[in-house]
Amino acid sequence: MTSKSLEELRKNLDVVDRSLIDLIKQRVDLAREICGVKRASGFETCFSPIREAEVFKNLRHYNLDGLHQNGVESIFVEIVSACRSAQEHGRISVLGEKNGLFNDAALARFGHSADIVAVDNFDDFCTELNKGQTNIGFASFTPEHSLEPLALVETLMSGKLGIVEEFNFAPEFSVVTNSARDLSEANEICVTSEMLRLMRQFFITLSFDLKIKICRSMSEVCENLESVNPVAAILPSKLVESYKNFIVVKSGIKSEQIQRVKFLTLSASIPLEYKAGLKTTIMCPLNQRSEHIYDIVASMRERQIEVAGIHNLNFVDKAWDTVVIIDLFLPEDRGSFENLMGEFQKKGLLARSCGYYPVFK
């Protein structure tokens, strides 16, 4: 048992806290210096997803004895967020409603120092990305949770936007109230119809009657929490941190309807730096006369190129009927990949690689 008093131990903690702050300041200063070197070297933006992916990968190699891996990663999300913000001001446009699940995912990836804005239609989304080279976009690419997926795929095929990273997000939700200390004390709980569907199992487990109010949007849900009456709501967990006046009565709730959602970070300017192990997405527009896609998949296997996934989207009133989307990891042998792309072109598949990018989580 320690011989130090409680007061002495707390003073020691204060010293450690000051040291941590000093180290974070040093990291921010280094980030600014790196930005200056990049600018002098002609880099258009300081944002480097590949480098950030390496930072989080390195955390797995450190001795975290007694520390929770996810907890440490969450701390570093905010540290890296502060450093990124110190380097340059760029806006992150999220294709989705304010206070919704997609904005929660953006906070989990980019942290609270990021300038995150919600954009609810694809045209405005593209406009925001083209306002400045430091602006990037963030959009879901899981088919059942995507907004305007056809427009996104068509834009990626055109080369107007490219993929700079993939982020896989496991959503969690919290039950909050404006004044009640327990959910049973609330007069009603506010949700959107989508949230009610996602959280159906949670409502089934409740052992008391609760009035459910269906709202048109998550913003309306939050507005209802301003009532003078005891009101509850279900919100994405990261966003709850932005509302200090809400009381969290239950957190860490997961939906059985969503395991993980794939998000893409997009940019109007993408450097194509080939590196084995990075991911790429290839778009192949096909019509009824196209019969070679199965040969191409077989060709990937022969070259031992790792395919991460294949899915397709159907179009109408286009020169193509279907776009086949192939995710694969870049092989060590760059020649194998370039030969594969040549084979796509030779067989008239008009394939386009949408960028070489890292995967987070």
- 85 and 207 part of one domain: no
Burial (0-12, 13-18, 19+ Cβ within 10 Å), 72: middle
Please give the mean pLDDT across all residues of the chain.
Answer: 90
Tell me what the mean pLDDT of segment 116-127 comes to. Answer: 93
Give the predicted TM-score (pTM) of the model.
0.91
- 137 and 234 part of one domain: no
Please report the pLDDT score of residue 12 as a whole number: 95
End-to-end Cα separation, the chain, in angstroms: 40
- CA dist 306 and 300 (Å) reads 8
Alpha helices, H only, the chain: 6-40, 49-59, 69-87, 101-110, 122-129, 149-158, 193-198, 200-205, 218-224, 237-240, 293-302, 334-346
Please report the pLDDT score of residue 62 as a whole number: 87
Query: What does the pLDDT look like over 289-314, one tens digit per residue?
Result: 556 677 778 888 888 899 998 888 88
Tell me what the mean pLDDT of segment 189-197 comes to. Answer: 93
Total count of residues recorded for the chain: 361
Last residue of a domain, one of 145, 171, 197: 171
Query: What does the pLDDT look like over 316-343, one tens digit per residue?
Result: 888 888 888 999 999 999 998 998 888 8
- Residue 266 belongs to a domain: no
- 202 and 229 part of one domain: yes
- 210 and 110 part of one domain: no
- Residue 258 belongs to a domain: no
**Does 1 score more than 60 pLDDT?**
no
Say how far residue 361 (Cα) sits from the centre of its chain. 10
Q: Are 221 and 168 in contact (CB under 8 A)?
A: no
The set of residues, in sequence order, having a beta carbon less than 8 Å from that of 310 and lying 6+ positions away, is: 297, 324, 325, 326, 327
The CATH number given to whatever domain includes residue 350 is: 3.30.70.260
- 167 and 224 part of one domain: no
Please report the pLDDT score of residue 294 as a whole number: 75
Please report the pLDDT score of residue 291 as a whole number: 62
- 16 and 128 part of one domain: yes
Least confident residue range of 47-56, 154-163, 213-222, 347-356: 347-356
Phi and psi at 100, nearest 5°, equal -95, -175
- 89 and 196 part of one domain: no
- 42 and 166 part of one domain: yes
Q: Are 176 and 232 in contact (CB under 8 A)?
A: yes
- 39 and 135 part of one domain: yes
- 21 and 116 part of one domain: yes
* Number of domains present in the structure of the chain: 3
pLDDT band for 2, please (50, 70, 90 cuts).
Answer: low
Please report the pLDDT score of residue 290 as a whole number: 57
Q: C-alpha dihedral over 138, 143, 145, 148, to 10 degrees?
A: 60
The CATH number given to whatever domain includes residue 200 is: 3.40.190
- Residue 259 belongs to a domain: no
Q: Are 283 and 354 in contact (CB under 8 A)?
A: yes
DSSP 34: H
Please report the pLDDT score of residue 42 as a whole number: 87
- Residue 260 belongs to a domain: no
- 26 and 103 part of one domain: yes
- Residue 232 belongs to a domain: yes
- Residue 284 belongs to a domain: yes
Q: Are 189 and 211 in contact (CB under 8 A)?
A: yes
Tell me what the mean pLDDT of segment 73-102 comes to. Answer: 93
List the domain range (segments joined by +) for residue 218.
Answer: 175-253
- 325 and 353 part of one domain: yes
Please report the pLDDT score of residue 28 as a whole number: 97
**Does 9 score more than 70 pLDDT?**
yes
Burial (0-12, 13-18, 19+ Cβ within 10 Å), 158: exposed
